[in-house]
Amino acid sequence: MLSSNPKRTLTMKKLSLVFLSLALLYSATAEKQANVVFLHGGRSHASGDHEFKAGSHLLAKHLNAQDKVSVKATVHAGWPADESRLDEADAIVIYADGTSVIGKGWEKMDQLVREKKVGVVFMHYAVHPSIDKGEQYYLPWIGGFFKNGVSVNPFWRAKIKPMKGHQTARGVGPIDAVDEFYFNIEYHPKALPLGTATPTEKNLHHINNLWTQKGFLAKGKSQSLLWGIVRPDGGRGAGFTGGHHHRNWAIDGYRQLILNTIVWAAGAEVPDGGVPTYAVTEDELNEELDDYGARTNRVKLPTEADVTFNPGPWMTPEEHAESRRKPRKKKK
């Protein structure tokens, strides 16, 4: 029966409009799509390593394939000439050699961080700036950086443990990988240890070119290979020292942890079981590899053999310097 009271009818109409507006507002908020932009560096090292383009495409592909998190990922080579392409980004992921990409956009990135609270994720060599740029930008943007004279870059077997209770740890399975995992990173006081492992004499594959006294003394001490920060004025950032060997992106837990971190940095909520991902095939692992012509290698899926080796010596900095002065034996 329709109401014969005009005032009551008017009130009901107003309430209906209020509820409709709230429903539309909730729907718009719930469906807000997070935009993730990958900026990858150019060809580097040898085929199968520093595959910045292939790694970026693989991670973007997995973000776009799932439907539990509303996210759209795009991939761009280098720093865009038209910087306005970054204006709608919720997170920018840079996977490159040193500052080869960010070096073309310091001011723009700083503006995006300060004014739009954009999330920033740097991976592998991209966490290594000069000390002045690291202190000026990396500490506030991502919470840490590879510091010359302090940090080190050996190859070692890391069984990475995600941070208990943090949303980036959701759904992350075992991680056991050999990579050029930098450690003894310079961290912001409020940096979060999102993924940790401990270097020892038993899991050291070999010391690389950068080895310091502080790195030498870090033996047996837990290291954050993946860290993050919640900036006090808004926004999130993260740094990951792995990503040298392309094959490791096929390790489910390794990939899961980074996908979760990218979504977290974008300001979205990581689902209870983690960002949905699927098993990577060898064919997928070889998509978008850099072209080295006849020297292009087919990347194989990770095996137990990759993490099985006789440990290299844990040298003092003096022993390391002496070993690098010795002439290398020529291959027959």
Which tens digit of pLDDT belongs to each residue from 196-255?
999 999 999 999 999 999 999 999 999 999 999 999 999 999 999 999 999 999 999 999
Contacts 24+ apart (CB under 8 A), 132-136: 133/99, 133/106, 134/186
Map out the domains of the chain as residue ranges.
33-292+300-325
Mean predicted confidence (pLDDT) in 104-127: 98
Mean pLDDT for 42-46 is 93
What whole-number distance in Å separates Cα of residue 261 and Cα of residue 326?
Answer: 42
| Cβ neighbours for 243, distance < 8 A, ≥ 6 positions apart | 55, 95, 123, 124, 179, 249
Indicate the length of the chain as a whole number: 332
What b/e readout covers 192-210, taking b as 16+ CB neighbours within 10 angstroms?
bbbbbbbbeeebbbebeeb
**Dist. CA 3–CA 168, nearest whole Å:** 54
Q: What pLDDT digit, counting tens, does each position of 59-89 carry?
A: 999 999 999 999 999 999 999 999 999 999 9
Fold that domain 33-292+300-325 belongs to in CATH: Rossmann fold (3.40.50)
* SS3 letters across 89-144: CCEEEEECCCCCCHHHCHHHHHHHHHHHCCEEEEEHHHHCCCHHHHHHHHHHHHCE
Look at residue 12 in the predicted model and tell me its pLDDT.
47
For residues 54 and 288, the answer to whether their CB atoms sit within 8 Å is yes
Q: What is the pTM of this model?
A: 0.90
